[in-house]
Structure 1
Amino acid sequence: MIGQSLIDGVRETVGLAGEPSAIRVVCAMSGGVDSTVTAALLKQAGFDVVGITLQLYDHGEAVRRKGACCAGQDIHDARRAAAAIGIPHYVLDFESRFREAVIDEFVDSYLAGETPVPCVTCNRTVKFADLLARSQELDAAVLATGHYVESRARGDGSGRRDMFTPADLSRDQSYFLFATTQPQLDYLRFPLGTLTKAETRAIAAELGLAVADKPDSQDICFVPDGDYAALIRKLRPEGVAPGDIVDLEGRVLGRHEGIIHYTIGQRRGLGIAGAEPLFVIKIDAPGRRVIVGPRDALRQEHIRVTSLNWLGEALLEEPRPVFAKIRSARPPVPADIRLEGLVPVVSIRGGEHGVSPGQACVLYEGEGPGQRVLGGGFIARG
């Protein structure tokens, strides 16, 4: 499995001239199989590898919940893996930064009637900003992670790099990395982009790494039991209040115990009955109302996006064809992006159902493996 072609591929991924032993690479190690194999492959390729794990939230919660990254058992697993690989390893306490940049923003977004994507925020701030800065302080030439995406040099001598979807689309993590800026992308490396998950686990087993069969992380890491509402009630009890469930005409159909229990497109758990299936169409946070209606009312064609991170060629008022992905579990669909003044608007050809404010709208050059990530933004309210 670990043949010369794989080692050569890792060196090509790093893409720096010189003797590998003279090139320092920081590897972000979460304690899972992906980041562990990334560190091991870099070491096998001869690089000067330093492993760093971020302590992001309270250990006490983590030890009671398997499959949550960057805490408790996972820090122990990362430390043990680094020792087995034979690289130095450091744990950095980023708890306060993570709370401020990720958890607080997650809670505020839910209370505003949105459905946030905290993994995007974590990558954008803590991992690819703060950790990247620490890597540069350690004189590392690049920062490597175990994400399943590809990064390739443009070949025009500019030193710029582009992001692409991976060989294993079932593990594609580009949706969560759309906010990676160009300078960050130029510094990052993703050695697993050409591998499948099965191949990654096989490499771990071949190297005798203890995490070879470790389950993948599940849910949002800082919500150990998956109960988002309980976390929000704990951190912002004053923000959770009951209100009305209404139809599209404003008629009251029932009551709810807080908008935090609802997301756009939700059908189950509404607690009301109708002549036809009802879905959450909109969340009116200021009015504390959950607006429901038939599935057809979920269809939306034009999407305004905020905080656009654009990695492609310059945008103009004329529509540019793209493929758009509005949920991490959905495939990208044909669309166009254009500027209305300074506001980016994505038009989905044929429309999409369940477009939810706070979620990401990520844009690609095509569909399938090896497609360039053009960027993306967050779906705006209203």
Structure 2
Amino acid sequence: MRVLAAMSGGVDSAVAAALAVEAGHDVVGVHMALSRNRQQFRTGSRGCCSIEDAGDARRAADVLGIPYYVWDLSERFEDTVVADFLSEYEAGRTPNPCVRCNEHIKFEALLDKATALGFDAVATGHYARVVETPGADGAVRRELHRSPNDAKDQSYVLAVMGPERLARSIFPLGDFASKDEVRAEAERRGLSVSAKPDSYDICFVADGDTQGFLRERLGSRPGAVVDTDGTVLGEHDGSYGYTVGQRKGLGLGRPAADGQPRYVLEVQPTTNTVVVGPAELLSIDEILGHNAVWLADDVVRAGEWVEAEVQVRAHGAPVPARVRAVPGAGGPRDAMEVELTGRPLRGVAAGQSVVAYRGTRVLGQATVERARRRERSA
């Protein structure tokens, strides 16, 4: 196969490209330039896709003996991932930019461009497995599964890709059980990135100051912090800077009457108000998600409840639930209903990604529209 290897400049994507070459594929490496600032440098382990990363990717491609190119996707990244990040916070929701990046950049812009150029698949350094099983009609079914490396598993952020793009994706690191194994593989192959630190935080907020980034882009918008009765407890500089479940940085002038900590319960963008209250009011057991993407049509059928587990954070613990596909604005299966059947979850915010699993297999994904306690909706 002709395979386009996405090379970020890190050890994972370098080893993924090496394994694609070893598997006998005709491999071409490409680095995605996502920053508008061509002189941006890494700050320790923060951020990615910097000028140093492009150089590291080029050196890895040279060692592997494969062609290497840099594709400028900075405008697409700004207009989709960054714009979505800002608009979601502005609307009182909590986005996951890694999910949007996988959706709009890595498995839309990159994969679609690769297909147009005649490539059969894209290989990335994500930690997830693709399992091929025979379907009832004799055709091979490709399933997305968790990585055996629990600490690095990225199936949560990949669930948004959908079955068509999953069919054109390769994850060579799927069977690696630890990052140490990947680093050892890189060192054995003479790749200089073998000891390079992982990137973390939001790549376009390289200094890690998300609140500062939001203030710079959205400006100062003073408003009130209130309790559930509407009593004003303090002021804020912009409701966009708060998220459901937040405890620190509330700037309240006096403690609660019972002496217990208070948490953000709700962000109301229309009134620029932040509502706070006790932790027990954060517990929810019902979720409605929209823009659903389903990866298991053999398991999930419209309107039928399916026993599953759901996860609402990239490295959060899955909890027992039942899920079903229901009609939404985009079609008969555009929404996901979730009813938790075990313990409730706390701090689930609109805008987060909810992913349904059965064991290690990804069933589907949706963006949280509403999360609440079931007794309230009765």
Question: TM-score, with normalisation over the residues of structure 2?
Answer: 0.90
Aligned to 2:292: 308
Q: Given the alignment, which residue of 107, 117, 125 partners 2:96?
A: 117
- The question of 1:291 aligning with 2:275 is answered yes
Residues of 1 paired with 2:63 and 2:94: CA distance?
40
- The question of 1:175 aligning with 2:156 is answered yes
**How many Å apart are 1:339 and its aligned residue?**
4.7
- The question of 1:220 aligning with 2:215 is answered no
Q: Deviations over 1:184-216 (max 9, x none)?
A: 000101010100211101000111110000000
Equivalent residue letter for 2:167: D
**How many Å apart are 1:61 and its aligned residue?**
6.2
Equivalent residue letter for 1:266: Q
Aligned to 2:376: none
Q: Is the 8 A contact 1:160 1:182 kept in 2?
A: no
Give the SS at the match of 1:110: helix
Q: Is the 8 A contact 2:42 2:48 kept in 1?
A: no
Equivalent residue letter for 1:262: Y
Structure 1: which 5+ runs fail to align? 1-22
Q: Is the 8 A contact 2:351 2:369 kept in 1?
A: yes
Q: Is the 8 A contact 1:151 1:164 kept in 2?
A: yes
**Alpha-carbon spacing, 1:339–1:87, altered in 2? closer, same or farther (3 Å):** closer
- Provide the identity percentage: 40
RMSD: 1.6
Give the SS at the match of 1:154: strand
Moved more, 330-339 or 283-292: 330-339
Q: Given the alignment, which residue of 319, 334, 345 partners 2:337?
A: 345
- The question of 1:358 aligning with 2:351 is answered yes
Q: Is the 8 A contact 1:159 1:186 kept in 2?
A: no
**How many Å apart are 1:159 and its aligned residue?**
4.1
Number of residues of Structure 1 aligned to a counterpart in Structure 2: 354
Moved more, 206-215 or 264-273: 264-273
Equivalent residue letter for 1:230: G
Residues of 2 paired with 1:285 and 1:328: CA distance?
26
Aligned to 1:258: 238
**How many Å apart are 1:42 and its aligned residue?**
1.6
Q: How does 1:1-382 map to 2 (within 5 A)?
A: 23-60=1-38, 62-67=40-45, 68-156=47-135, 157-195=138-176, 196-237=178-219, 240-272=220-252, 273-274=255-256, 275-313=259-297, 314-339=300-325, 342=328, 343-349=335-341, 350-366=343-359, 371-381=360-370
Moved more, 79-88 or 64-73: 64-73
Q: Is the 8 A contact 1:361 1:377 kept in 2?
A: yes
Residues of 1 paired with 2:212 and 2:38: CA distance?
17
**How many Å apart are 1:223 and its aligned residue?**
0.5
- Segments of 4+ in structure 1 off by > 4 A? 339-343
**How many Å apart are 1:48 and its aligned residue?**
1.3
Q: Is the 8 A contact 1:33 1:211 kept in 2?
A: yes
**How many Å apart are 1:33 and its aligned residue?**
0.2
Residues of 2 paired with 1:187 and 1:160: CA distance?
12
Residues of 2 paired with 1:303 and 1:47: CA distance?
43
**Alpha-carbon spacing, 1:64–1:339, altered in 2? closer, same or farther (3 Å):** closer
Structure 2: which 5+ runs fail to align? 329-334, 372-378
Residues of 2 paired with 1:60 and 1:173: CA distance?
28
Aligned to 2:375: none
**How many Å apart are 1:340 and its aligned residue?**
5.5
